[in-house]
């Protein structure tokens, strides 16, 4: 995700939404100012998470969300990387 997505509680809200959707994976800030996320779960839940990412946290301004299919990494929970 790119735009104003760091310093606006994006990762905290993303983790909360992932929990509501019963997803596993992670979300982290990148050095270039973007946020990277990995979401695993039922397709409908992942789609809902991606839709949420297009809006983000209340103070975020999301310019772009790039989506790629990747293999599951076997996560058992959702975490926020710091």
Contact 1, 35 (CB under 8 A): yes
Q: Which residues are catalytic?
A: 11, 29
Report residue 79 as tokens: 């975490």
Judged by phi (left if over 0) then psi (alpha if -120 to 50, else beta), residue 16 lies in alpha
């Amino acid at each position: 995700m790119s735009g104003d997505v760091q310093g606006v509680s994006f990762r905290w809200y993303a983790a909360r939404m992932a929990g509501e959707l019963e997803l596993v994976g992670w979300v982290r800030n990148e050095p270039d100012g973007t946020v990277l996320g990995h979401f695993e779960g039922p397709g409908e839940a992942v789609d809902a998470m991606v839709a949420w990412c297009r809006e983000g946290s209340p103070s975020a301004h999301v310019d772009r969300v790039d989506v790629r299919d990747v293999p599951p990494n076997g996560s058992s929970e959702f975490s926020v990387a710091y």
